[in-house]
Amino acid sequence: MQMDERKKKILRAIIQDYIVTAEPIGSRTIARKFDLGISPATIRNEMSDLEVLGLIEQPYTSAGRIPSDAGYRYYVDCLMVEEELSGEEKEIIERETTRRINEIQEVITHTSKLLSQLTSLTSIVLGPLKGTSAFGQIHFLPYQPGQAIMVMVKDNGVVENHIVDIGFNVTAEELQRVAAVLNQKMRGQSLKTVKKGLLQEIYSELTKQHHLLDKALEMLAVILDGCEEKEQVYLGGTLNMLNQPEFRNLDRVKTLFRFFEEDESLKKLLQPTHEGLNVTIGGENIFKEFHDCSVISATYRIDEETIGAIGVLGPTRMNYSKAMAIVDFMTRMISENLTRGCKR
């Protein structure tokens, strides 16, 4: 059995209606709502075929039909008319992403908020990935006795400060020297490289400064500990989920929100499977909690290097064309802006 033009029209009608109403739709209603020029009976026959093809299904006997995961997949791949964002929407995204924002944290939280607002879905934004940033420079500033503030600037512009315990018998001047050695050896290197290969080298360099002999290794450990990168995940518009009829059930909401609290799992949701826009529909998702959801995600880059990802999460019955257009445009804007920001 083949998909002819009429079947396509009917499938599109079913999906588009279901996206809006979240109710199963029957042949009669299709004939009434969409002007296809054929009778309910004919539509019934075609729907029967679509069901055999696995593109639609009945929640129960003698209810209307709803799209199956495969149906959505076919819709996204073959049927959907790609949506052009309105000028207004584009403008908002451009304005908000090109705002002069100094700290990457802000970019992330801001993006997450904007994304959920525009799509009315839940947004997930994944911050700088492990291993994508290298050391820029390290500074030490005096703090309490026995402690110092370590300020670390990474090459992607992220600045972090950590308080490190350095022991009481280390002077400010000694710290300066440590910083000098670290800066010289570590600049442009990733944390991984340092931990794997450079550590011994730095240590022997430091111990040349006889004062530091006994303290050096311990200090290094503490410092590197402070450098430990953690990828951050931001969620936006989690409440939007509660507006979806799919989540009228409290237990469903509970498992959903419990999932939202696990950063590690959230990251996996955004795991890209290929270049460009990733669309994961219903049961395609690796987590069974999201077998009634879809995820649209894409990665953002500085220059050509992927450093993070953004995505939206919503019920399988989401407005794919809109969400895809927004995620796509937004990653492009963020990448441009970040790349420009780093060159500045």
d(CA 291, CA 284): 7
Q: Which does 139 bind (CB under 5 to 8 A by kind): DNA, its own copies, none?
A: its own copies
Q: Which does 48 bind (CB under 5 to 8 A by kind): DNA, its own copies, none?
A: DNA
d(CA 80, CA 281): 14
CB distance 150 to 204 below 8 Å: no
Q: How far is the CB of 46 from DNA (least distance, A)?
A: 8
Q: Does 146 bind its own copies (CB under 8 A)?
A: yes
Q: Which helix (H) or strand (E) holds 314?
A: strand 305-315
Determine which residue in the list 3, 38, 129, 222 makes contact with DNA, applying CB under 7 A.
Answer: 38
Residue 61: both structure tokens together: 């006997």
Q: Does 157 bind its own copies (CB under 8 A)?
A: yes
Tally of residues, the chain: 344
Toward its own copies, which CB reaches closer, 156 or 190?
156
Tell me the H-state helices in the chain. Answer: 5-21, 27-33, 40-52, 69-74, 87-98, 104-119, 172-186, 191-193, 199-208, 216-227, 250-260, 263-270, 320-343
Binding to DNA by CB under 7 A, coded x per residue (else -) over 45-84, reads x-xx--x------x-xxxxxx-------------------
d(CA 340, CA 165): 37
How many amino acids of this chain bind DNA (CB under 7 A)? 24
Residue 217: both structure tokens together: 């290794």
Residue 23: both structure tokens together: 């109710």
Q: Does 192 bind its own copies (CB under 8 A)?
A: no
Q: Which does 162 bind (CB under 5 to 8 A by kind): its own copies, DNA, none?
A: its own copies
- Binding to its own copies (CB under 8 A): which residues in 82-141? 100, 102-103, 137, 139, 141
Residues whose CB is less than 8 angstroms from the CB of residue 79 and which lie 6 or more positions away in sequence, other chains included: 8, 11, 12, 15
Q: Does 1 bind its own copies (CB under 8 A)?
A: no
Determine which residue in the list 253, 276, 303, 340 makes contact with its own copies, applying CB under 8 A.
Answer: 253
Q: Which does 143 bind (CB under 5 to 8 A by kind): DNA, its own copies, none?
A: its own copies
Q: Does 250 bind its own copies (CB under 8 A)?
A: yes
Q: Does 145 bind its own copies (CB under 8 A)?
A: yes
Closest to 19 in 3D by CA, of 120, 123, 90: 120
Q: Does 36 bind its own copies (CB under 8 A)?
A: no
Determine which residue in the list 33, 248, 268, 340 makes contact with its own copies, applying CB under 8 A.
Answer: 248
d(CA 277, CA 280): 10
Provide the angle, in degrees to the nearest 10, between the axes of the packed helices 104-119 and 87-98.
Answer: 160
Quickly tell me which residue has 């440590």 as its tokens: 178
Toward its own copies, which CB reaches closer, 162 or 291?
162
Q: Which does 62 bind (CB under 5 to 8 A by kind): DNA, its own copies, none?
A: DNA
Mode of pairing for the β-strands spanning 233-236 and 66-67: unpaired
Q: Does 41 bind DNA (CB under 7 A)?
A: yes
Q: Does 180 bind its own copies (CB under 8 A)?
A: no
Is the alpha carbon torsion for 220, 221, 226, 230 positive or negative? Answer: positive
Q: Which does 272 bind (CB under 5 to 8 A by kind): DNA, its own copies, none?
A: none
Tell me phi and psi for residue 332, to 5 degrees: -65, -45
Residues that bind its own copies (CB under 8 A): 100, 102-103, 137, 139, 141-147, 149, 151, 153, 157, 159-165, 238-239, 242, 248, 250, 253-254, 257-258, 261, 344
Q: Residues in the site for DNA, rule: CB under 7 A?
A: 24-29, 37-42, 44-45, 47-48, 51, 58, 60-65
